Amino acid sequence: MTELTTERLLMRQWKADDYEPFAAMNADPAWCRDRMATCKGCLGQRLCD
């Protein structure tokens, strides 16, 4: 898989280790308020798949 890297950004394929921190972000109401309408259950898992 190709990666895109800049000074401030690394875009790459999802890894198994990404799911837990991503789910934690989605569980934070302050983070969710400006980014998406609902943050429930396994939203992080569904977005990563």
In the chain, where the domains are located = 15-48
How many angstroms separate the CA atoms of 18 and 20, rounded?
A: 6
Q: Over the stretch 2-34, which tens digit does the pLDDT of each residue have?
A: 899 999 999 999 888 988 988 888 788 787 776
Among candidate residues 38, 41, 11, 9, the one with its CA nearest the CA of residue 23: 41
* Mean pLDDT confidence for 23-46: 67
Q: Which residue has the higher pLDDT, 2 or 45?
A: 2
Question: Would you state the pLDDT for residue 4?
Answer: 93
CB 48 within 8 A of CB 15: no
Q: What is the pTM of this model?
A: 0.50
Higher pLDDT, 5 or 35: 5
